């Protein structure tokens, strides 16, 4: 699934082109996604200027004067720029046309979404999908003390606490495994057992891991590509444990172990990462 670095990389790519431009035409080729694409959405935004391209968690926010498009890439989707005359692929479900630019939303599983938040309903942050999200990992208010407070009393594992997105948003499955390895914390450890010192290590690991992923253009897992159609390079450059079950740990050479937590695969070193 595209995680925060992939979505932020996509946001940066579309923002340089879409912002300040008039949307000539928004076309829906397949409305049956995770939630139905509003049938009147093209009429709401055709001919409108894109004011900004933002992000909250894993949601892209394309802002117009009348409201904001909320776009989610689903499990294996992408939003990429293509040539004006490029043939549409089988799973290209929507497109944004500008004077000299064209973007296609590709989503083979149709787990993504294109929704609308009307400006009359208040800030887009109030939308039900966004209102309950945790703090952003690059927010100045996010620090070790914040993480420690959010984990206190939690009996679920620290890996599952990160994926829940209430303590901090955007640390998905891949980068949670990587950050926990970097912090030397066993992913099965109860979140509430982490001391402030260990939360400080985890905080630093989260920020460093996501920063590296952004610098690498995100990961390449299955068919993810960024807004220019290019794959990310995180796995080639940085991945230490994710999808490396049985391979030697790069620190102690113990075989990397794979377990399942909450129906998601977790990878860790049983020697380096302590409970």
Residues labelled as active-site residues: 2-3, 58, 264
Spatial neighbors of 205 by CB under 8 A, at least 6 apart, are 179, 180, 182, 183
CA 85, CA 13: separation in Å to the nearest integer? 20
Q: Cα dihedral sign for 80, 83, 89, 92?
A: positive
CA 86, CA 109: separation in Å to the nearest integer? 22
DSSP secondary structure letter of residue 116: E
Number of H helices, E strands in the chain: 8, 10
Q: What length is written for the chain?
A: 275
Distances (CA, A) of 65 to 11, 125, 264: 19, 16, 39
């Amino acid at each position: 699934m595209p995680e925060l670095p992939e979505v932020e990389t996509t946001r940066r790519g579309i923002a340089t082109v879409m912002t300040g431009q008039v949307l000539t035409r928004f076309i829906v080729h397949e409305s049956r996604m995770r939630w139905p694409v509003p049938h009147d959405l093209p009429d709401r935004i055709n001919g409108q200027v894109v004011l900004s391209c933002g992000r909250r968690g894993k949601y892209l926010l394309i802002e117009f004067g009348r409201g904001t498009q909320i776009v989610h890439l689903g499990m294996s989707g992408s939003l990429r720029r293509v040539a004006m005359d490029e043939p549409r692929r089988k799973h290209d479900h929507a497109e944004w046309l500008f004077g000299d630019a064209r973007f296609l939303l590709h989503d083979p599983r149709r787990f993504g979404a294109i929704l609308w938040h009307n400006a009359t309903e208040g800030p887009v942050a109030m939308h039900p999908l966004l209102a309950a999200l945790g703090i952003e990992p690059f927010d100045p208010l996010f620090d070790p003390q914040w993480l420690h407070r959010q984990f206190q009393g939690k009996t679920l594992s620290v890996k599952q606490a990160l994926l829940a997105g209430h303590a901090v948003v955007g640390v998905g499955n891949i980068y949670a495994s990587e950050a926990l390895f970097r912090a030397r914390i066993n992913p099965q450890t109860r979140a509430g057992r982490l001391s402030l010192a260990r939360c400080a290590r985890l905080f630093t690991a989260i920020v460093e891991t996501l920063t590296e992923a952004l610098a690498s253009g995100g990961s390449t897992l299955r068919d993810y590509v960024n807004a220019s159609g290019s794959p990310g390079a995180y796995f080639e450059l940085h991945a230490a444990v994710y999808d490396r079950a049985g391979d030697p740990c790069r620190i102690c050479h113990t075989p990397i172990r794979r377990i399942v937590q909450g129906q998601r695969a977790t990878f860790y070193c049983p020697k380096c990462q302590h409970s």
